[in-house]
Chains A and B, each alone.
Chain A
């Protein structure tokens, strides 16, 4: 049985890793309000993904939640220094969170 499986695998296995085809920036997919931090959000977030999922958190997340998310995104490769991280977090919590002004 294992021999059959291996034979099948040899037949269909033509190459190994596939490189991610990345755009430089993705369309955000939502209209971002003009405010301090918008450019940073566009630069740091849309290099990997759209922003269509962001509004779903609006009724639930404040600054601390968004800070945890931004920290997680930095682990995933977002490039932000310490000051920029705070600016992005404030922007998200103000416009897509419970810290609306």
Chain B
């Protein structure tokens, strides 16, 4: 009887644990005040967060209890309770932010600062305040934390090197590559994706660069570009209309199983897939207008491409390379993340 009780209790706990966690795609809307949550399996909108105008970047606490968003209009990092979807804190930032990322242990959020002197604001999620500013000497568009949690990587404009890498322990610069190639202020580094070695350390960075319709492959250990992939071109009358903001290809991601890499083409309104590590071209999937960012369901079954100009999200079946759904969201959806939320 006692054993049965223990088993039942364990089952209840397991059941509660299973039902309390939900895999979602967190979809920002850059011209809106709302953020949408999309169930990563059913592909339905299951929640909405209000009150974050011109929301740019999103990040999730590793335990799924909180979400973080940068607001370009409020110039804050907003902390949202993942269960209630209410804003619990609005943390002032140095200047107008762009994209954000979170450390592997969830203690710090790294906010790219695009206006003023730029740099990276470091926000302590426990204290809910900005505790440090990394001076990059450049305007920071996107920040990423490497999969092993050891480095903070910034894609920047201006400065001396537009791919700027810092230790996540000391916040000191580890290395810096890609100096600006022209005086054009839009010359810089755009989104970056990563894959890992079997031991979990970072293997390659897949780097999108202003005015390049493709991406570069950079060996993380040697800091050397080992190749460059240019996406297919299409006839002019099949291209998405401009403006492209000097980013013909914007949005790149490695699927969680690390078998494929997916790349958004604003020019073509198409997402292209390549196999890893062979980098064999697998095909393209026509999506909405101006695909800008891409995330994945945790099981690598679906990719979710945010279409900035058609206000929707394309759901792509990875195995068949087909668009299976287009979900209407807010105005100008751009950054999205995959997260396991405690709900």
In-complex Cβ contact of B53 among A4, A49, A60 (8 A): A60
Partner of B243, one of A23, A57, A72, A76: A23
| A28 nearest CB across to chain B (Å) | 12
- Please tell me if B235 contacts chain A, counting CB pairs below 8 Å: no
Q: A5-B227, A9-B217, A13-B230 are in contact. Are A49 and B243 (CB under 8 A)?
A: yes
Interface of chain B, main secondary structure: loop
Count of chain B residues with a beta carbon within 8 Å of a chain A beta carbon = 45
Chain B, residues 205-218, CB within 8 Å of chain A (1/0): the string is: 00000011110010
- Given A26-B243, A53-B54, answer yes or no on A20-B278 (Cβ-Cβ < 8 Å): no
The reply to whether the CB of B33 lies closer than 8 angstroms to some CB of chain A is yes
Which of B's residues lie within 8 Å of A, judged by CB?
Answer: 30-33, 53-54, 72-75, 95-96, 114-116, 139, 158, 184-186, 211-214, 217, 226-230, 242-246, 248, 267, 274, 277-281, 331-332
- 28 CB-based A-B contacts, threshold 8 Å: A1-B277, A4-B278, A5-B226, A5-B227, A8-B227, A8-B279, A8-B280, A9-B227, A13-B214, A15-B230, A16-B230, A17-B212, A18-B213, A18-B230, A18-B248, A20-B211, A21-B242, A21-B244, A23-B242, A23-B243, A26-B243, A52-B332, A56-B73, A56-B331, A57-B53, A59-B53, A68-B115, A72-B114
Q: Which residues of A contact B (CB under 8 A)?
A: 1-2, 4-6, 8-23, 26, 48-50, 52-53, 56-57, 59-61, 65, 68-69, 71-72, 75-77
